[in-house]
Structure 1
Amino acid sequence: MRTRFTEAISRYVRVAPFPHMTTISMAGLSLLCGAEASLESDSGNRFLAAVFWVLSALFAWGILLCQADALSRFREFERVRATLRRYGFKPRILRPVSSSRCQRDAALLAASETGFRAQAHRYFRELGYRWYHILPDRIVANPLYFFHPDFLRSTFLPRRSTQE
């Protein structure tokens, strides 16, 4: 029998599978770089040790960013789920969360839990999205948009929708 805690953890992981997989990958890379930095330090190569320590720290920072993204997707999932429960399926509810794979995953889980998965899947498919469309639309159009404050704000601080 599953407890509420294990169900909550399972839901949190299913809401944002890509950020969680990236977190695991970055944790492994951070550990490997840290181990290599330690080995280089022991062998007396301070320059390479410093390079690997910096890489390890950067990967650790990436872990924090991935988890911030996952938490944001979870908040978005809760908002979309509540909106779907309140108003039923309306495409305008899903339109703001259709531009990235992480957002679509969260919206599809919310739709699944409210009984609208088929409609949501069909809506995203009609918009032209397939399983391999992972990067956000804005990043595909302009890779430097990743550093734009609007992108960072929309990624880590999702806004309330006007439908609520």
Structure 2
Amino acid sequence: MHAPASVPQRLRALVQAAHRYLFRVAPLPHATGSLSVAVGAGLAHFCVEFLGQGALLAGLCLALPASGWFCLGLLCLADGYCRYREYRRLKRMIGRWGFHPRLLSSVAASRCQRDAALAAASETGHLGRARAHFRHLGYRWYHLLPDSTVDNPLRFFDPAFLRVTFLPGKD
């Protein structure tokens, strides 16, 4: 029988889990989402200031971009959560079957997915092999955008792209 964990141990585990979620598994979506929410909050602040001063038109003109930045931030944060689910799925698969390049090839087309796969490989002891596999496929640190959107930026709005992004696999 295990003794219950002390408060500092639980707090340390919580901090480690938050660090993994925010900075290791999906740093790009969380940074983009946080920045977008901050810009939206700044615009919303000015919107409320203008409305308080009676400048209705100026306040309403700022309300639209503020809501757009908030929506973008929420989409990015949702993408970060989906990458975390993908990380958990890949970690479970690598832990069960070991390292196989075909497990990582399905997530190679996006920087966010590669980050999640690298975090899973790191925690299962296969980080070097995973990095070598992505490098062999031609990916470097500066390949930020998903492959499909480099050719066509409007691909962000394609239902198939959104399905792959927000429904990565069974959890």
SS in 2 for 1:115: coil
User: In the comparison of the two structures, how many residue pairs are matched?
Assistant: 161
**TM-fit CA distance, 1:39:** 2.4
1:85 is matched with: 95
1:153 is matched with: 163
SS in 2 for 1:3: helix
Superimposed CA distance per residue, residues 98-140 of structure 1 (whole angstroms, 9 cap, x where no aligned partner) = 0010000000000000000000000000111000000000000
Q: RMSD of aligned C-alpha atoms?
A: 1.5
Deviates more, 1:65-74 or 1:52-61: 52-61
Deviates more, 1:79-88 or 1:23-32: 23-32
**Gapped regions of structure 1 (runs ≥ 5):** none
- Residue 67 (structure 1) aligned with residue 103 (structure 2): no
Distance of 1:110 and 1:3 partners within structure 2: 20
SS in 2 for 1:99: coil
1:49 is matched with: 59
Distance of 1:51 and 1:156 partners within structure 2: 31
- Residue 31 (structure 1) aligned with residue 41 (structure 2): yes
- Residue 5 (structure 1) aligned with residue 14 (structure 2): yes
Identity percentage of aligned residues: 43
- Residue 118 (structure 1) aligned with residue 120 (structure 2): no
**TM-fit CA distance, 1:73:** 0.2
TM-score of the two chains, using structure 2 as the length reference: 0.89
**TM-fit CA distance, 1:51:** 1.6
Distance of 1:144 and 1:63 partners within structure 2: 19
TM-score of the two chains, using structure 1 as the length reference: 0.93
Distance of 2:169 and 2:52 partners within structure 1: 49
SS in 2 for 1:89: coil
- Residue 106 (structure 1) aligned with residue 127 (structure 2): no
Distance of 1:87 and 1:111 partners within structure 2: 12
SS in 2 for 1:44: coil
**Gapped regions of structure 2 (runs ≥ 5):** 1-8
